[in-house]
Structure 1
Amino acid sequence: MTQAAAAPDYRALLSLDDRGFIVLGAGDGIGAQISHGLAQCGARVFCVDIVEDKARAIAEAVGGHHCAADVTSAAGVAKVLKAAQVQLGVIHGVVDVIGVARIKPIAEFADEEFEWQLGIVLRHALYVLRGASQVMPQGGPITFVGSMSGNRAVANQLVYGTSKAALHHLVRGAAVELGPKGIRVNAVAPGFIRTPRLLELLDKAQWEEIDRHVPIGRAATPEEIAATLLFMSSDLAAHVNGVVMPVDGGVSVTAALPDLEFGKVARTGTA
């Protein structure tokens, strides 16, 4: 009889003890939650936000370091990587949460708004990949936050969705190119999330309508997105590379069809 293989220590595979991680967009929402998650698993966290007070506050909360920078520019990314190397020594991973949606009809989108949206979603991600891949000699995970809007067409989100779709392809292409260096590149693709920003923008009735369209009955929380990012950042995901993982409660697998009340039709026997 063949002896069964010994089971690994799965709990240990989640450990990030003494590993240095950069979190871009750490100030609140998903960024703050993944900073907590990484720190709780033993990582030394370098928290980056464009607002210095936010970066400092989360760094203090997780016992990490902080830096204020605009990483939509190549110079901003270079500043972050240099400062992180000073504080962390070796960089073992990056989690990039940056991305804001400008939502409006196609006809109202100005040229400068198009460039801004591409810059904040896509261009900065290229800067991050280009820079981080040169300062991670031991390899490690680089993980982005994409969007369901990059997988499916959403009204008034053409430019945002196009930017996220391009980010998803950037992730896949980088995974192929950087994989031989031991760098895994992945992303999560959330649907609606109860982030501080969206909680301010949407009222109770709008949230109820969103929840109605999610198969599990509710939008995600920042903690739930952070949990998936934490998995992708750990050795539990050691063979996960080039993946854009939906974390949307099942929205991406549903068909956009009207409710035809099939149950009622069946009960009445009509065709």
Structure 2
Amino acid sequence: MTNESLIDPTTKHTTDPFPKQEQSPPGLTDQMSPQPDHGEQSYRGAHRLEGRRALITGGDSGIGRAVAIAFAREGARVAISYLPSEQADAEETAEWVSDAGTDALLLAGDLRSEAHCAELIEHTEQAFGGLDLLVLNAAYQRNRGGIDELPTDDFETVMRVNLFAPVFLARAAVPLLEPGSSIITTTSIQGFDPSSALVDYAMTKAALVAFTKALAEELGPRGIRVNAVAPGPIWTPLIPATGWPDKLPGFGRDTPLGRAGQPAELAGAYVYLASDDASYVSGAVLPVTGGRGL
């Protein structure tokens, strides 16, 4: 007898090849075809983050939007960090957060700035009266033709957004965090199985694994947990903005599940790591990769 309550993960979301498309960085949701699923219609909260105060970098779109929606539906107040050019995406995310009956705080700016990173923590603390959850999610990547073609200014952007900013943000946030607080980084399968076309991005994601584990060791005695989520190929604005339109039809099809993931499929991992369900989990890297091993 067939169990009709089961959902086949190989067909839960589209398995059709993504059409060729390209955007300028950082990429915008409304220009994507097809539109990603952030859990707008599917995520159901269970009060697991009631009363928590969260800051999510890159929270305007993609994985960050899915996490923002999920956190809000779990009862958290949510601050969203994003670039000024992503204002429309951020405002749409804020509407979903507000619809969940919780506060949304929009904080535009450039994470390459050390001063802006400190201001993000300060503004969140002032607006919410504290900070309990810090999700270091924002990232930048571009397709590289070869190491000899890697532009210095672009390389510096990857390093500052993906590595410097998490350090600046954690440095400013840690003095405010109380026992039971949580820091979650977004690393990547690229940190374990790097592609030469994303050499600098992969470097930063591998470094974030070390950062996560070292920070977990430091902050554990204070009752602050630090973990990471390692996504595989996920359909977000970052992908059409990477500069590889010819690769998009095959994007994600090399995973054991045979398709790319949707941002909504990441939300539960972040909620778990942020919640008391994961009270004995720290220094961990949780893969959400469609079956590809780390």
Fold shared, TM-score > 0.5 on shorter chain: yes
Cα distance change, pair 49–109 in 1 and its aligned pair in 2 (3 A): same
Amino acid at match of 2:138: I
Q: Which residue in 1 is equivalent to 2:66?
A: 33
Matched residue SS, 1:134: helix
> Of 225, 239, 243, which residue of structure 1 is paired with 2:280?
239
Q: Which residue in 1 is equivalent to 2:96?
A: 61
- Give the stretch that moved more between structures: 28-37 or 222-231: 222-231
Cα distance change, pair 108–206 in 1 and its aligned pair in 2 (3 A): closer
Contact 2:143 2:244 in 1 (8 A): no
| 1:44 pairs with 2:87 | no
Q: Which residue in 2 is equivalent to 1:268?
A: none
Residues 109-258 of structure 1: pairs in structure 2 closer than 5 A: 109-199=150-240, 206-252=247-293
Per-residue CA distance 1:37-93 (angstroms, 9 max, x = gap) = 000001111122122443333223212222112223221111111111121112111
**TM-score after normalising by structure 2:** 0.76
Contact 1:151 1:165 in 2 (8 A): yes
Cα distance change, pair 19–217 in 1 and its aligned pair in 2 (3 A): same
**Structure 1 alignment gaps of length 5 or more:** 1-10, 254-271
Contact 1:29 1:222 in 2 (8 A): yes
Q: Which residue in 2 is equivalent to 1:23?
A: 56
What is the deviation of 1:235?
1.0
Q: Which residue in 2 is equivalent to 1:83?
A: 123
Residues 97-116 of structure 1: pairs in structure 2 closer than 5 A: 97-104=137-144, 105-116=146-157
Q: Give the distance between the partners of 2:240 and 2:273, measured in 1 at CA.
A: 27
Q: Highest CA radius of gyration, 1 or 2? A: 1
Q: Which residue in 1 is equivalent to 2:41?
A: none
Contact 1:55 1:67 in 2 (8 A): no
Q: Give the distance between the partners of 2:252 and 2:45, measured in 1 at CA.
A: 36
Q: Give the distance between the partners of 2:45 and 2:92, measured in 1 at CA.
A: 29
What is the deviation of 1:132?
1.1
What is the deviation of 1:179?
1.1
Identity of aligned residues (%): 31
**Structure 2 alignment gaps of length 5 or more:** 1-43, 99-103
- For these two proteins, the number of residue pairs brought into alignment is 243
**TM-score after normalising by structure 1:** 0.82
Cα distance change, pair 60–150 in 1 and its aligned pair in 2 (3 A): same
- Give the stretch that moved more between structures: 72-81 or 47-56: 47-56
Contact 2:232 2:292 in 1 (8 A): yes
Cα RMSD for the two superposed structures: 2.3
Q: Which residue in 2 is equivalent to 1:4?
A: none
Contact 2:252 2:261 in 1 (8 A): no
Contact 2:59 2:68 in 1 (8 A): yes
